[in-house]
Structure 1
């Protein structure tokens, strides 16, 4: 099995490097990395990775603070959903928005945590889907502390 990792040069940290580091820590799965300029390029990157034999793709996007950036994110999201429908394979969207944190240190922590947790999710989707079933309804968050279920 092979994991596709698509990242961008627009990101303010090397999200692809973090994803590869986490993937190597938790599995022996092969991977292929594809780097593109920005988030609107991620849908075609995901499609190409799937066509190259990847069983799942993790897209790593970074969204700026402007309204234009949010519109680009929406376009990218629709594109990734389309790729999933057309290929019948998962594309895990890992996106960090610059307005998620008050300072760069917190933004870095959110980004790194989100990437690492979604790599684990992707590996579980491929290798251990029962683990995700056990976590259903538990308020898991990527990038932030888990919130837990509403009712216990």
Structure 2
């Protein structure tokens, strides 16, 4: 198994380092890391990791500022990522932190670290153990925050 990691210089923390740290918990998982300037550069780099580096899955690590133009850039990333997935027939797991998710930097850092780590585990499960994800279907899982649980009848 080989995972691609794409992060950005725009991010305010080293999200790639966090992802790699989480990957060290899994024996036999190789990775390739690439860093691009901003989130609109992510889709092509993810596609290249799949096609040129033979990655089984890619985890993209983006950071979105508070401005409206940043939100528009996120939409561009999302569309590009989906196109890259469809072109390669491989999952590209988007892990994006939006600065307006938290009022203070301490909370934002906690959300970011948790979200990166949980999505790295999700990526591994998608390739190695998809039935583990099926066991959690409908359980209100949240990456970055506490799980909210299912709606019970």
Which residue matches 2:76?
75
Shift in Å, 1:26:
3.1
Name 2:38's counterpart in structure 1: 38
Matched, 1:65 2:66: yes
CA distance in 2 between partners of 1:104 and 1:25 (Å): 27
Aligned-pair CA distance for 1:25? 1.4
Runs of 4+ in 1 over 6 A off after TM superposition: none
What 5-or-longer segments of structure 1 have no aligned partner? none
Please state whether the residue corresponding to 1:149 is helix, strand or coil. coil
* Structure 2, unaligned runs of 5 or more: none
In structure 1, the residue matched to 2:103 is: 102
Residue 22 of structure 1 corresponds to: 22
Aligned residues: 152
Deviation at 1:102, TM superposition (A): 1.1
- TM-score of the superposed pair, with normalisation by structure 2: 0.98
Alignment-derived partner of residue 114 in structure 2: 113
- Quote how far apart the aligned CAs of 1:28 are: 2.5
Cα distance in structure 1, aligned partners of 2:87 and 2:111: 31
Q: Which residue of 1 aligns with 2:93?
A: 92
Name 1:147's counterpart in structure 2. Answer: 148
CA deviations 1:40-59 (Å, max 9, x no partner) are: 00001100100120000000
RMSD: 0.8
